[in-house]
Amino acid sequence: MAQPKKSFPNEKSELHARNLHRSRYDFPQLIESCPELAPFVSLNKYDDLSVNFSDPEAVKMLNKALLKHFYHIQNWDIPKDFLCPPIPGRADYIHYLADLLSACNGDRIPQGNSVHVLDIGVGANCIYPIIGHISYGWKFVGTDIDPVSVSSAKLIAEANRNLTKAIDIRLQKSAENIFKGIIKPTDRFDLTLCNPPFHASQEEADAVGMKKLRNLGKLEDGAKPVLNFGGKTTELWCDGGEERFVRQMAEESVAFGQQCFWFTTLVSKKTTLPVLSHALRYAGATDIKVINMAQGQKASRVVAWTFLDRQQQEEWMRSRWIKA
């Protein structure tokens, strides 16, 4: 017997105004675009159509349907156990980055392949380059330290005609570096983006995964968690966690301050903000911005910084975005 229906808003107003995923999932429409989704859709306890969000295969198929329906991506898949991120939140990051560029460009979003973006940790899913290119025509370089992720992201780009000339995937060969070894002397990036590993250990990542599944009512005491969004070690955690990773990113970015307009990263933990701000001020950033985001009950933020002074920013815009 179905429980009394909860009242859900028809629009997720906390998402960015240009986010295509503000409305609730229209499962019949998604199934029409991606028939493979149908076996994973059923009535939940509130008598609403849904998928089992604790099932990694169901989450992956939902992502495949969203990419087909909204972004016209016909060929997308990821290896087993790799991160399958929630697309609405990833889209928000891209749209806020578009606003960041717009604010420097007379309130016009620079579009087309003259805008180059570097995705640090592109993952096997290649989600940010897909959304960024389909939404704004931007050209992407995606980088990852995992050879399997690099192969998967390359395969996605090569298998879709609307992505082949827009996405370049590079392997980061050094576990000690973020930008070094990736940014070439001739590269110029209008944006860099990153969704850093949040956790400081596998144990911490497992504990968070178990908490999420308990909240979904899908984990019994003593059971081993199966992460619904997946994720390999390098995607979920690193020594020192988010705080150490973004501090290193700030320190490394100085060397490439004349090759990149805006460096950006997601920051999940409020406690990371003062650490990153201090590192950026010490590094000599000329401007630091914090952009707040929210998806449902989860709060996050984007931190953006540049080393270009006002005159250098004006020259950058004239030389790269004048036709955008």
Taking residue 165's Cβ as centre, other Cβ atoms within 10 Å add up to 11
Residue 237: which of 207, 213, 210, 212 has the closest Cα? Answer: 207
pLDDT the model gives residue 204? 47
pTM of the predicted model, to two decimals? Answer: 0.87
The DSSP result for 139-154, as a single string, is EEEEEES-HHHHHHHH
Residue at token pair 């180059």: 116
User: How would you write the pLDDT of the chain (324 residues) with one tens digit per residue?
Assistant: 555 555 556 678 889 999 999 999 999 999 999 999 999 999 998 899 999 998 999 999 999 999 999 999 999 999 998 989 999 999 999 999 999 999 999 999 999 999 999 999 999 999 999 999 999 999 999 999 999 999 999 999 999 999 999 999 999 999 899 999 999 999 999 999 999 985 344 444 444 444 444 554 554 555 545 454 454 455 444 465 799 999 999 999 999 999 999 999 999 889 999 999 999 999 999 999 999 997 666 778 999 999 999 999 999 999 998 654
Separation between Cα atoms, residue 285 and residue 256, nearest integer Å: 12
Q: Are 183 and 108 in contact (CB under 8 A)?
A: no
pLDDT the model gives residue 235: 46
Please say whether the dihedral angle defined by the alpha carbons of residues 61, 156, 100 and 195, taken in this order, is positive or negative: positive
Q: Where are the alpha helices (DSSP H) in the chain?
A: 27-33, 56-71, 87-103, 127-136, 147-159, 202-215, 233-236, 241-253, 272-283, 310-320
Quote helix, strand, coil % in the chain, to nearest 5: 40, 20, 45
